[in-house]
Chains A and B, each alone.
Chain A
Amino acid sequence: MHFLLTDGIDLIVSKIRQLLFSCALCAALVGLSAYPAQCEKPAKELVFGMSAAFTGATGELGIEFYRGFMAYIDQFNAQGGAGGWTIRVEPANDGYNLIPCFRNTLKFIEDDEVFALFSYVGTPTTTHILPLLQKYEDRHVYLLFPFTGAMPLRAAPFGRYVYNLRASYFQETAGLVDHLVGIGRSRIAVFYQSDAYGRTGWDGVRRALRRHGLPLVSEAAYQRGASFDQDFGREVKHIMAAEPDAVIVVGTYASQAAFVRNLRDAGYAIPVAGLSFADSDKMLELLMRAERETGRGYTSGLINSQVVPSYEDTSLPGVRRYRELMDAYAGIPDLSEQGYKPRRFSFVSFEGFLNGVLLGEMVRRMADNPTRERIPEVLESIRDFDLGIGVNVTFGPGDHQGLDVVYYTTVVEGRFQPLADWEGLRP
């Protein structure tokens, strides 16, 4: 029997060897293909690596996020950059999976020697690569403005290598919980993704509820990668067994949409609150399509917290500028699937846009001598920087959190609009 087990282990080892070998081969090929491009690049260009899902269930997140900051960076480069330094963002698809994300990051650091990692999307993936930042501490690799509110990026030991623009999931969930409790919905359940992201959101809800002295009435996890077609009937039943009067979903747009569909199908009308990471626009689109197919109503009682203001609020100069540049930008990353139809505006691309603005500001401030070592110093010099969204960005030594504001939206006339009146959701 020993031989069986050792055989198994041998097999695994040999598989890993194969894998490593093919990785090395891939890396070599990429390196070779990248070599001429490096030769061609202008002398003053700063390259940033971005690993995100550009395909799959969360693929639209990566694409829209990318489009958001590229709308700004294109204009930034077109205007000659800063001090002659232009910005190039190298996207890499990880499909919202840990190993590809890790591999992409390794490639960015080792082969591409990027200036910094920028606008990573996804909590589990991003959390997974954090040890690399410590590993290459001597090369001063920093992760800038990732699209996640998870705590590992904001806390020891790796928080010092990360600069966040958006508010944390804790802040989002705390806001949601506070408001829901405020309108008398204190029996709160959580539907969450079974990974670091989901767990962080779950943890946030739990902590917020604990502050109110309330328990989490029920919870259900789902496997990462769920599509809209997934049936969450069982999970709905499990959660509703505890008779909650609100559900907070910590998931992706596809899973949240699927959960809402199953919940409403089961006849429950209680409010469902999602986080910013769930691309609310895409989710709404999925639900509306389902509404059209089944004739049922899925879009009422939806709340989504956002870390940026509504892109519909054109009273903000930032929004106006975003809409202007987005209309002018038509690019989509090469990595996206064929036939992808870009969204005109979305919360995701708006956040991406703001990321681009902040990145431009950083480059601008170090244009005299852009080096990796200077990134903390330069970013921490940013105080009360106006993004045109009504609140300013401030970093500082030990303060790697740019914004702390959470916005709440709900579906009005087929669109996510700022949630003006919580009282309407009172049971």
Chain B
Amino acid sequence: MKAPRLFLKPMLFMVIIFGVISVVSSATFGNRLKQEMTREYESKALALARSVAESDIVTILDQEAGSVQARINQYQAIAGVSYVAVADEDGQIIAHTFIPDVPPEVRELIRETAGTLLGDEHLLRDVQFGGGEYLHVAQPILTGLAGYVHIGMDSSIIARHIRDAVVEQQVLMAFLFGGSLVIAFVFILSISKPLSLLSEYARRVASNDFSGDAPEIDSRDEVGELAGAMRTMARHIGELVSGLEERVRQKTKELQEARDVLKQKVEERTGELLRTNTQLKIEIAERQVIGEALRKAERKYRAIFENAVEGIYQSSPGGRFLSANPALARILGYKSPDELMNGVYDSGTQLYVDRGRRKEYLRLIKEKGELKNFVSKVRRRDGRIIWVSENARAIRDKDGTILYHEGSIEDITLRKKAEDQLKRQAFHDPLTGLPNRALFLDHLRLAMERGRRRKHLYAVIYMDLDRFKVINDSLGHETGDELLRGVARVLESCGRSVDTLARFGGDEFAILLEEISAPRDAITIARRILDGVRQPFVIGGNEVFTSASMGIVLKTEGYDRPEALLRDADTAMYRAKELGKSRFKVFNRKMHDQALKLMALETDLRRAVDLREFEVAYQPIVCLETRLICGFEALVRWRHAEHGIIMPGDFISLAEDTGLIHAIDNMVLADACAQVRQWQDCYCAHFSDSLTLNVNISGKHLGQPMLLNQVSRVLEESGLPAGSLNIEITESALMDNPAMAEEVLRQFKGLGIQVCIDDFGTGYSSLSYLQRFPIDVVKVDRSFITGVERDQDSQAIVRTVFSLGSSLGLKVVAEGVETPAQLAFLEKEGCRYVQGYLFYRPLSAAEVDDMLFCGKAGS
């Protein structure tokens, strides 16, 4: 019987499974057997060795070799024992069972055991000699004092046992395998037999033989079901085949009839065609005439096409030029239209610099059917990039399918360049090339938006050169411009690529630092810029030194307008200037509050000027010789509606900054002149000489061209003699612009007005100025007067000023005299005029009136 092929796989499977099982089990079994037997042998050998060691101790002690031999010969009969040897304590063999002699390996072992193996220990070792393997056990006798027993167990017995056991197991496995194979064979045969019958039946059905019956398989399993299904299928197929044959016969007949009808129709149509042919010949003759006319027209339009300045083309929707004129070829850098048409097969990738333009082009054409002024960058054949403007439309056939695009191209590169130039000029400072305020604000706005969207740290620096005006005035505008360019280069070298560096005009710069990781970065850059600006700039062969002050805004979140941010930076910058220039100041909350307060104050101050909320207080100046009032210093007071009296120290600098100082100064001047004139008239008897008036004029005011006119007008209006008026100017105001100051002072002198230097000693002026300026009075600063009681330096200064005054013929006034001690010192040094609380505090006009009226002026 031939084995069914179905049987092969299970057989293979079983071979593998049985093989694996037998190998694995043999290995484990063998290994386990070996361990167990080795352990048994070890314990056996040990037991024997101990038995010799303990039972024969007497004979061994006597070195009774014969008795010992008699005993150990008995042990040899025990299964597994291969040899026994007894040695004395020195390792000398007393008796052994080797024939003919002790192998060197064992002799060596015995020798080395002696003396090393003591007490209750025993030695277990595998020994090989003479082609055999032995388990050697050594046991000391009387803890080694009497000698040693050595027993060798034949290890080959273990191996033989293992081999036998494994063979037995393998045989059993082979039997099991054989049995399983037979069962599997029979089982598979019962499946394969009906299957082969069925396949035989299926082959018959396939060759259209429906005569035979399906094999009788009644088993109630899947094979039985298959047989049933095949029977049904065969029946269906049989019916289907006979039906098909019938239909084929019927259709053949129908076709025959149809062919006859067709034949007749063909004959009729042939007649019709002959007639049509004649008609066509006539038409061809007509067409030839029309064609000639068309050719003429075509030549005319072609000339236009060929000579146009614009490039004109027809192109396929795929981007290939179908036709082009010489102008187009020229624009795109080709020698001829043919070369262009051969060279460009895909305008989308070959011409447009931006790949998306071609898509855009197609989209517009598709949506609108045409496009106008479609501006793109295009790459010429030589690689140059030009700007072109295109007009195009789609040409469609009757069905609306796009045949091709038709359009014109104009080279607008020059125009584009001009536009860019204009754009750049609008947003950049022409002097330094840096962005201007508009562009800066634009960038700042973008940065603020980014900051709102995500965590984006940025900072703004507002920078102003110190004393730029001086440089500009003294060295000329060209040097000034050169310096500004130099500073711009410094900024560029200190800033990073992401930063925006801008010049706002004049000597103001702004820097937007973007993508900083920490505020510290901004500070670092600011320091670097300050250092860079401090370096000398070589301009026209001269070294020009300058410095800058900076305001920095680090906390940039919370601003909604870039202008507000810039304003705060500006505020901080001004604070830096106040703190001594050439430094930076970081804007903080306090500054903000101060700014707010200042702003409120400014508003109030403007209103105060409008409402004339200012009053004048008069502090008498006393002549020491007569102890009489010899004049007044007019001091301004602001009577604030809410805050009450505000002293000049709190609002004069603001007034100077805002320019309100002119109005205030003028008002005080006018009021005081009128008042003093009145007192001069009414109480002249009370005063020594003529009563003088000291009025303070701000340094800012000094440069005003209107000042002189105003003063002379006030004098005129009030009637005060010019000699009674002392214009007080602070020493530092003089030093800010000495040339101008000198000019103004001379003009005052020209009017007959006296000039008084206020706060003398604080402006670090050199003494030469005192000579240079036309000065009449010097007021020693109150800080020195306060110091004379204790401070030697102050005493020296005051003494010097007095001696200087007397030698230069100047009137010296000491202000701020408050104690009799100060007065005593001053009198001793020859002081003639004093002012201070020791005599009078500043008084209102009414109080002065009272005082004068009561005649107390002399006391």
Interface residue ranges, A against B (CB under 8 Å): 1-2, 4-5, 8, 12, 98, 123-124, 127-128, 150-152, 155-157, 194-200, 202-203, 206, 218-223, 234-235, 238
Contacts and interface: CB of A to CB of B under 8 A. Distances in A.
Interface in B67-110: 67-70, 73-74, 79, 94-95, 97-101
A4 B161 contact: yes
B64 interface: yes
A4 B40 CA distance: 12
A331 to B, nearest CB: 33
Given A12-B79, A155-B62, A238 B69 contact: no
Nearest to A206: B65
B165 interface: yes
A39 to B, nearest CB: 39
Contacts of A200: 65-66, 69
Given A1-B37, A151-B64, A199 B95 contact: yes
Interface in B123-164: 161
Interface centre among B32, B79, B100 (most CB of A within 10 A): B100
B64 A155 contact: yes
Contacts of A195: 69-70, 73
A421 to B, nearest CB: 32
Interface of B: 29, 32-33, 36-37, 40, 58-59, 62-70, 73-74, 79, 94-95, 97-101, 161, 165
A238 B100 contact: yes
Contacts of B101: 218-221, 238
A219 B95 CA distance: 12
A152 B66 CA distance: 7
5 contacts: A98-B73, A123-B66, A124-B73, A152-B59, A220-B101
B165 A199 contact: no
Contacts of A151: 64-67
Given A194-B97, A199-B95, 11 more contacts: A1-B29, A1-B32, A1-B33, A123-B66, A127-B66, A151-B65, A155-B64, A194-B98, A196-B66, A196-B67, A199-B70
B734 to A, nearest CB: 124
Given A1-B33, A1-B36, A156-B58, A197 B100 contact: no
B99 A221 contact: yes
A152 B79 CA distance: 27
B100 A222 contact: yes
Contacts of B98: 194, 221
A155 B382 CA distance: 129
Nearest to A236: B100
A332 B100 CA distance: 36
A198 B70 CA distance: 10
A202 B165 contact: no
Interface centre among B65, B101, B165 (most CB of A within 10 A): B65
Contacts of A238: 100-101
A123 B64 CA distance: 14
Contacts of B99: 194, 220-223
B69 A234 contact: no
B100 A196 contact: no
A199 B36 contact: no
Given A155-B64, A221-B99, A221-B101, A196 B37 contact: no
A221 B100 contact: yes
Contacts of A194: 69, 73, 97-99
B94 to A, nearest CB: 8
Contacts of A98: 73-74
A40 to B, nearest CB: 39
Interface centre among B40, B66, B79 (most CB of A within 10 A): B66
Contacts of B67: 127, 151-152, 155, 196
B69 A196 contact: yes
A206 to B, nearest CB: 8
A226 to B, nearest CB: 10
Nearest to B73: A195
Contacts of B73: 98, 124, 194-196
A205 to B, nearest CB: 10
A427 B40 CA distance: 55
A218 B102 CA distance: 11
Contacts of A150: 66
A199 B65 contact: yes
In the A-B complex, the 6 residue pairs with the smallest Cβ-Cβ separation, listed nearest first, are A199-B69, A200-B66, A220-B100, A203-B65, A196-B70, A1-B33
A122 B79 CA distance: 26
A156 B56 CA distance: 12
Contacts of A123: 66
Contact of A199 (B32, B68, B79, B100): B68
Nearest to A9: B79
Nearest to B30: A1
Contacts of B79: 8, 12
Contact of A235 (B40, B66, B100, B165): B100
Contacts of B69: 194-196, 198-200
A263 to B, nearest CB: 14
Contacts of B66: 123, 127, 150-152, 196-197, 199-200, 203
A187 B234 CA distance: 109
A82 B184 CA distance: 93
A128 B70 contact: yes
B31 to A, nearest CB: 10
A256 B42 CA distance: 38
A238 B67 CA distance: 26
Contacts of A206: 65
Nearest to A223: B99
A234 B130 CA distance: 14
B181 to A, nearest CB: 29
B64 A152 contact: yes
B139 to A, nearest CB: 20
Nearest to B70: A196
Contacts of A234: 100
A278 to B, nearest CB: 16
A199 B66 CA distance: 5
Contacts of A202: 65
Contacts of B165: 1, 4
B503 to A, nearest CB: 102
Nearest to B29: A1
Given A221-B99, A222-B99, A238-B100, A5 B65 contact: no
Nearest to A238: B100
B55 to A, nearest CB: 11
A238 B99 CA distance: 11
Contacts of A2: 36
B808 to A, nearest CB: 135
Nearest to A149: B66
Nearest to A191: B100
A219 B65 CA distance: 15
Contacts of A198: 69
Given A1-B165, A4-B165, A8-B79, A124 B70 contact: yes
A270 to B, nearest CB: 18
Contacts of A8: 79
A155 B68 CA distance: 13
A151 B36 CA distance: 42
